[in-house]
Structures are given as structure tokens and as C-alpha cells.
Chains A and B, each alone.
Chain A
Amino acid sequence: MKETHIAEVIESNTTEMIAQCRDLHCSPPFGSFVKVKPTSTSVEGAGFLIYGLVFNVMTNSIEPNRRAVAYGKTEEELRNEQPQIFELLKTEFQAHLVGYQDQTGIKQILPSQPPRIHSFVYTCSLEEVREFTRQSDYLHTLFTISRVPPDELIIATIRNSLEAHAEDAHQYLIQVGKELSRLLREDYDRLSSILRRIAP
């Protein structure tokens, strides 16, 4: 079955990218894995399959200089009365680049080139998530993101990936927990707070 994309890259740099969703309010959830397929295999340096982690979702006006205004009506009333205003809105998300896949497998390091603009973005399947989260080295880069509380991002990420490890969920939590414990060696309270909140 051919996968359908959910968004398109509109801005990217070495560590992160911004993608615009195909439909309004249809962003992948906070803390979920997305992938960017190489635009064309024939283009030299078009790169590999790149994995990103959604850490920020925003919906705003298409026009940078115009903001949406409050109408005092429900969304349903608005859709009936003024459907055009929804056409002037867009949903975007920011994703942190956490790794890529080349011929030898998944690498949890930054790709040498960021995703190209207008590449399509897809959600990751459960198998892909399971494959990617087999190692937990990516976790430490999440602590470097300053725009969202990193603990929240980590909790969301682990909770989202739990479904992919449904068979050995507890073992997976221990493995991730040990990695966190290494990263947060000096901060036992923070570690225990995270662990309390990721437990299903």
C-alpha cells in the first residue's frame, strides 16, 4: 500500500525542521516519530531516510503579518458562516532530527545534510518505532531542546513509543529508565518524577 504523506518540509537546518501539515489541525502528536523520505533517489546527495521527533506544534495564519481574530462563535458556527477563514490558517510542526537510516541500518546521529525543502513527511509505523527505539542514545539530545520542557518531551516520547513495545513493555521501560538514570545521575528527584509519569 502506498503511504500518504502528512506534511511537507518548509524549513530545515542541521538539527531540526519545520513541516506544514496537509490538513489543518492534523499534526502528528507531540513526542511522536516522523520520517522524511529522500525526495528522489536519482538526485546525488538527496540523502537517506531521516527520522525526526515532533517537539512543537503550532497553528497560525498563512499571512505572517495577520493574526487570527476572535469571533465569539463555535467552530461549527464559523464553518457554516465563514468557511473561508479556515483556508487562511495552517498547522505546522517542528521536529528534532534524531537519526537516519542508510544501507547498514539505523544510526542515531544527525544526518550530514538536513531534509530538503518540500520533501514529504510521513508518520512512522509501529515496526519502525520499535526498530528505532531499540537503542536509547537519542534521548540525550532531547535534553538540549530549550523551547519545550525537555522532561515533558521525554515523557511524551516514551509513552508514545510504548505501544510499539507492547510485548515487552516493562523491559523496555527498564532499558529506557537505565539510560535516563545515567543521563540524570546528579538529579535523582527529576529521574523519579519522570519514571513516575511514564509508567502506564
Chain B
Amino acid sequence: MDHRSGELGIITRGSLLEGMEMKLNPNRSVEDIKAGKFVVIEGEKHLFFSMITDVRLEVTNPQILTHPPSRENTLLRQVLSGTSTYATVILRPMLALERVENSHLINPTPQPVKTIPTHFALVYEADEEDVSRIFGREALDRKYFNIGKPLDMDTPVCLNLDRFVERSNGIFGKTGTGKTFLTRLVLSGLIKNEKAVNIIFDTHNEYGWGAMKETGGNRQDFVKGLKQIFGNRVAIFTLDPDSSRRRKVQADHEVLIGYDQIAVEDVIPLQDELSLHPTAMEAAYSIWARYKNDWLDTLLERGEEDIQALADELRTHPESLAALYRKLRRFRAFKFLIPKTSEDIIQKIMEYIDKGIHIVLEFGKESSMLCYLLVANIITRRIHELYVKRTEEYLATQNPANRPKQLVITIEEAHKFLNPRASKQTIFGTIARELRKYYVSLLVVDQRPSGIDDEILSQIGTKIIALLDDEKDIQAVLTGVSNPTGLRSVLASLDSKQQALILGHAVPMPIVIRSRDYDEQFYKDMGFLTEKEREEKVAADIEALFG
């Protein structure tokens, strides 16, 4: 520890609340100091792992500001630099490691910061050993998954996937900042290390099969989807088989939902999309009270000519019933909704889940928000019901074989499900709130976190945040984070590509990363086989099977 290099400066003042202030070494250029950089303060008894949150120019004498040196006067500029004019850097200690007295050994468990370093403690750039000591290494344990690298460094930062799946998580960032790539990375980690089974509601058809990469300019690159990388460990379900075929995607299963599988609770979250009046919802309940599972079928069947009779029969207001019918009539246009189905799609999904196969649900060209909300709600609500049942069985028997597989549901445009109004009514709000009690958690992907209910945001375990501009969004993602001031400036200064701030349950301290490249090397690391390798493997398998 005595041989650290890369000295940045010394601590001059600070407080536990506001963070530490470091005077930058005169031989360091302030332009090399980036917000979000990972640094180490060497205190007397502790090492403080910290993040740079702010950089400031200072002068000792205000007179200098009134008569700044002219451009020609380089000597004066150079003389002043580092003595009368200098830079201070604000650091936020995030973790402390105790240094064992009279020895170079270090107590290896990082602690929360409860004190601050002494005056003139030296500050260094963190080295590779520090990063792996704090964030773990993939080689150590399957729970670690390399998600990217710290700024200006070459060591992987790992997510602790065990902790990651324990809570609901969020990936935020404005459009075009690489949310989808980050999500794909995280999902790949979960699939590869078998930490959870995933259901991905894929509105834009980006996860299952190849997707376009936003490179800017005219060049267009395609990247592989999860199905291509993980083969038969991932199944593609589609709502729109025609679209899948056109995109040359081999869908494993077509999703058909019968009217009898739609409950009134599935329609409630669509209030905004359908601009339904609360009285219309009451009408829906009154049909349900009488016809139970056939309520929607009955409404759509009799709505056209017979609405008055139906209203009389139910003793409800004909106007609100008619309004309900007019709105729900749109369901007929959805090809995947049919009056009766021969097989239960939820059963099918559960079969896959039981086998540990991950499901990407493609929407094809059925990408309207209405369709997305409806399908996601129907499926998630019923799967959640089954999971609750299974969990109860498991609790009753306490037999490890009955333990449900941890399930992660990925939803995009999450603010549609989790806005303050909807989150009280949709199943997603319930899942986000009840944590891992029933082995189901959410992976929320959204570009407008301020639209999500505060209560839900504060329950989100790990947040992976790409660039956000809007002050409201920044404030929203930092809900439930202690001392958010420093992180705010870090968030606003992220690059618009491939950079993200990770904080929360799955990382010991917040850190800015340059996300891992999603390229050939990544496919290989994930176990992807090229055409040739696959042929060889198939040949070997056939050999093994038929002798």
C-alpha cells in the first residue's frame, strides 16, 4: 500500500455531510479530472474509496480576477498556476477499508463511511487491485458479472447478481443513451450465470433476435439478440408471427389470448390509454359479477345491437356500458385476442420457466402502447398469481425442490405501468413493492423516471443510470439515495454513449462505468458458438446420441 502511484492531490478540508475537498497537485491538469472518477484517499487508519463529484477553480487573491494575466504573459500564468490559482476537487467518500495498525494488511470488508480522513491525507487514482477488491472478480464467483470498466481504467467492475435479483431494479437514461444495450448486458449476465429466469416484454423487437446498433452516420451495424447468443436457453414468443417471419426470426411459440383470460383488473391500467371513465370501470365490474370469465366476450358479443338489454339485465347505466363497449371494441382488431383458445398461454410460459428457459415476448407490429400494456398486464398478473401459490406451497412444505425459480420480468416504458395512479392498480406496482417475497422481481427500463411513483422508485434495488438531462428525472432516480447532491452533477456529466452510473444493492458503492462492449468478444464470453463450432458440436451430439 505504500507504493501507490498516481497522486492526485491532498485533502484540505471537508465534512462527512458535504464531502471532502482536495487541492489538486499543481502538476496535474484540471482537465484530466473527470466527474465520476474512482479515487482512493489514504487516511491514517482507513482507506476511503471515493468518487469525484465536482471540480472548482480557486484563486487566493481576488485581485487576480480583476486583472487576469494576458495571453502573452505565459510566465505569469505559469507562476500563478498551482500557487495563487489552483483547482479543488470535491470527493465523496463512499466506502472505508480499515488499515490494520502497524502492518500493511487491510481488513478486507469495506465499511460504510462513518468518519473522514485527516488533514493533508494523500489522494490517489484507484488501481486495479482496489477495483477488484471492492467489486469482486468474475473469476472468483459466478455471482459476479462484468458490466463495464471505471472511467480511465481497464479493470472490470462487477455486478453482484445474487444481490441484483433480490430486488427490483431499474435501467434509466434518455433515448439513445444505450439503455437497451445495458439491459441486454444485464440480461445476458442473468442468463449466462443462471441467476434467474427472465420474461422480457420486448415492444420494439430488440432483445430476441438481431437488432440495429445506433452508430451515428450512415453505417449501420447489427448486433446479436439473446436467442442468437444463448440458443435454446431462450425462447421467442410472438404476438405477430407474420412480422417475426418477415424479420426471419424463428419464433418458438405464438401467443394467443382468449377473452376469458382477460380480467377486469387487466383493463383498469388501460384507463389512460383508452380514456375510460371510472363509471365505465364500474360497468365492467357489473358484467363480471354476472358473467365472470365470459364478461368480455359477452360485452363484445352483445355490445353492438343489444347494449340496452344488457344494461337492463345488469341494472347498470346504459351510457357507461356503451362507453365501455366503444372503448373495448378496439380489442377486436388485435389478432392475438380470440374468443376462445385451446391452450393456456400462461401454462405454456410456466412450462418454459420451470425448464429454466428465458422468454422474449415480441410484439411485432402490434407495438401500440395499448397492446403492450394489456398483454404485459395479463401475463404478469397471472404468472404472479401462480408464483404466489407456489411460494405458499414452498413455505408449507419447506422442500427445496418446491422452491420457485427466481423470475425477473423486464418491462420497457415502465412509467406507463408504474406512474402514481397505475402503480396502485397494476400488478407491477405490487411486485415492485413486495420485493422478493414471491420470487418475482422487475427490471424496469425507462427514459422518464420522473413519471414513476416515488414509492416504487425508492424500492428499486439497483439503478443503472445512463445520461439524463431533465432535472426532474435526475431528482427522481436519486430518490432514496442518501446525499444525492454530488451524484447529481456526476449524472449530468455522463457521456451520451456507453457510460452509466451504477448505484444500489448490487454494487458496494456508486460508480461510473464505461459499459462493456457488446461485440464478438462478448458473444464468445457468453458461450456463443460460431457456425463452424456449432456444426462440430452438433456432429458430436449426433455421434453421442446414435452411436
The CA-CA distance from A192 to B60 in the complex, in Å, is: 15
Q: Is B83 an interface residue (CB 8 A)?
A: yes
Q: Is A110 an interface residue (CB 8 A)?
A: no
Q: Is A147 an interface residue (CB 8 A)?
A: no
Q: Which residues of A contact B64 (CB under 8 A)?
A: 188
CB pair B61–A188 under 8 Å, yes or no, is: yes
Give the nearest-CB partner of B59 in chain A: A188
Q: Chain A interface: which of B74-82, B168-176, B311-319, B400-408? A: B74-82
A151-182 at interface with B (beta carbon < 8 Å): 170, 173-174, 177-178, 180-182
CB pair A181–B78 under 8 Å, yes or no, is: no
Main secondary structure of the interface of A (DSSP, over half): helix
Q: Which residues of B contact A174 (CB under 8 A)?
A: 75, 78-79
Q: Is A189 an interface residue (CB 8 A)?
A: yes
The CA-CA distance from A188 to B83 in the complex, in Å, is: 12
Give the nearest-CB partner of A185 in chain B: B60
Binary A-proximity of B64-104 (CB < 8 A = 1, otherwise 0): 10010100010110111011100000000000000000000
Give the nearest-CB partner of B65 in chain A: A188
Distance between A31 CB and nearest chain B CB, rounded to angstroms: 19
The CA-CA distance from A170 to B79 in the complex, in Å, is: 11
CB pair B61–A178 under 8 Å, yes or no, is: no
CB pair A185–B84 under 8 Å, yes or no, is: yes
Distance between B308 CB and nearest chain A CB, rounded to angstroms: 90
Q: Is B275 an interface residue (CB 8 A)?
A: no
The CA-CA distance from A186 to B62 in the complex, in Å, is: 9
Q: A177-B75, A192-B76 are in contact. Are A182 and B83 (CB under 8 A)?
A: yes
Give the nearest-CB partner of A188 in chain B: B63
Could you say which interface size class chain B belongs to? 10 to 19
A68-106 at interface with B (beta carbon < 8 Å): none
Distance between B26 CB and nearest chain A CB, rounded to angstroms: 8
Binary A-proximity of B510-529 (CB < 8 A = 1, otherwise 0): 00000000000000000000
CB pair B79–A180 under 8 Å, yes or no, is: yes
Q: Which residues of B contact A178 (CB under 8 A)?
A: 79, 82-83
The CA-CA distance from A191 to B84 in the complex, in Å, is: 11
CB pair A188–B78 under 8 Å, yes or no, is: no
Contact of A181 among B63, B67, B73, B80 (CB under 8 A): B80
Contact of A195 among B67, B76, B82, B83 (CB under 8 A): B76
Q: Is A145 an interface residue (CB 8 A)?
A: no
Which among A174, A180, A188 has the greatest number of chain B C-beta atoms within 10 A? A188
CB pair B78–A192 under 8 Å, yes or no, is: no
CB pair B79–A181 under 8 Å, yes or no, is: yes
Q: Which residues of B contact A196 (CB under 8 A)?
A: 73, 76
Distance between B82 CB and nearest chain A CB, rounded to angstroms: 7
Q: Which residues of A contact B82 (CB under 8 A)?
A: 178
The CA-CA distance from A182 to B82 in the complex, in Å, is: 10
Q: Which residues of A contact B79 (CB under 8 A)?
A: 173-174, 177-178, 180-181, 191, 195
Give the nearest-CB partner of A192 in chain B: B76
Q: Is A58 an interface residue (CB 8 A)?
A: no
CB pair B75–A188 under 8 Å, yes or no, is: no
Q: Which residues of A contact B61 (CB under 8 A)?
A: 185-186, 188
Q: Is A199 an interface residue (CB 8 A)?
A: yes
Distance between B494 CB and nearest chain A CB, rounded to angstroms: 36
The CA-CA distance from A191 to B73 in the complex, in Å, is: 13
Q: A174-B78, A185-B60 are in contact. Are A192 and B83 (CB under 8 A)?
A: no
The CA-CA distance from A129 to B320 in the complex, in Å, is: 101
B448-507 at interface with A (beta carbon < 8 Å): none
Q: Which residues of A contact B80 (CB under 8 A)?
A: 181
Give the nearest-CB partner of B26 in chain A: A178
CB pair B84–A192 under 8 Å, yes or no, is: no
CB pair B84–A195 under 8 Å, yes or no, is: no
Q: Which residues of A contact B83 (CB under 8 A)?
A: 178, 181-182
The 6 closest A-B CB pairs, nearest first, are A177-B79, A188-B63, A181-B83, A174-B78, A178-B83, A188-B61
Given A188-B84, A191-B76, A195-B79, output 15 extra A-B contacts at Cβ < 8 Å: A173-B75, A177-B75, A177-B76, A177-B78, A178-B79, A178-B83, A180-B79, A181-B80, A181-B84, A182-B83, A189-B63, A189-B67, A192-B73, A192-B76, A199-B75
Q: List 21 A-B contacts (CB under 8 A).
A: A173-B75, A173-B79, A174-B75, A174-B79, A177-B79, A181-B80, A182-B83, A185-B60, A185-B61, A186-B61, A188-B61, A188-B63, A188-B64, A188-B84, A189-B67, A191-B76, A192-B67, A192-B73, A192-B76, A195-B76, A196-B76
Query: Measuring CB to CB, which residues of chain B are less than 8 angstroms from any residue of chain A?
Result: 60-61, 63-64, 67, 69, 73, 75-76, 78-80, 82-84
